[in-house]
Amino acid sequence: MTASQRESTWVFGYGSLIYKVDFPFLQREVAAIEGWQRRFWQGSHDHRGTPDEPGRVVTLIPAAGSTCKGVAYRVEHEVFEHLDHREKNGYERHAVTITLLAGQQQVGGLLYVARADNHAYLGPAPLPELAAHIARSWGPSGSNRDYVLALASALRELDDPDPHVLALEALLLDPWRACKGVGDPV
């Protein structure tokens, strides 16, 4: 193990960390984790919404038998100051085993996850309600809709057809369906 490997950590990105890489990294690998799946259950008061009108951003929930594909970055420890600030609104670091897909190598690392007991957690809702909420949300980082569409595009590039993300994308790309009243059949 080299000195730089001892002074670095793998971070798994499953949401905007896949496509919005605003931090330095030593290595980038397509990767996966087991036992987790994406859900738009976390509120965003600081990026894709406001304190009065939070948007919805992705977190992970435990799901036995599930695989979540994303990108792993090997970063120096100093990068965590930036990442902790970026992921501050209810996310916390969580240790995880990451599989680097190119060589099927497993490494220890961290991810940011928003647990159900955090102050910004919004929880589950039917897909049409999630889409309607996302369609009307906007924050300092832009529209909540753009966040979902960018994630769906990034997942396609990784060949990861995440059903939750793609179902939301389909609703958001059909303005009539995304803006219908909550409770209307879809």
Q: What is the pLDDT of residues 15-49, one digit of tens each?
A: 999 999 999 999 999 999 999 999 999 999 999 99
Q: Does residue 186 lie in a domain region? A: no
Could you tell me which of 169, 163, 184 has the C-alpha nearest to residue 67? 163
- DSSP for 5-64, written as a single string: HHTEEEEEESSHHHH---S--SEEEEEEEEEEEEEEEEEESSSSS-SSS-EEEEEEEEEE
Structure token pair of residue 85: 């600030």
Q: What pTM does this model have?
A: 0.90
Q: Does residue 140 lie in a domain region? A: yes
- Is 130 within 8 Å of 168 (Cβ atoms)? yes
Percentage with pLDDT > 70 across the chain: 90
Q: Does residue 99 lie in a domain region? A: yes
CATH of the domain at 141: 3.10.490.10
Q: Does residue 184 lie in a domain region? A: no
Domain that holds residue 107: 3-179
Q: Does residue 44 lie in a domain region? A: yes
Q: Does residue 185 lie in a domain region? A: no
Active site residues: 87
Q: Does residue 98 lie in a domain region? A: yes
Structure token pair of residue 78: 């100093």
Say how many domains are in the chain.
1
Q: Could you tell me the pLDDT band of residue 174, with boundaries at 50, 70 and 90?
A: confident
Pairwise CA distance, residues 148 & 134, whole Å: 8
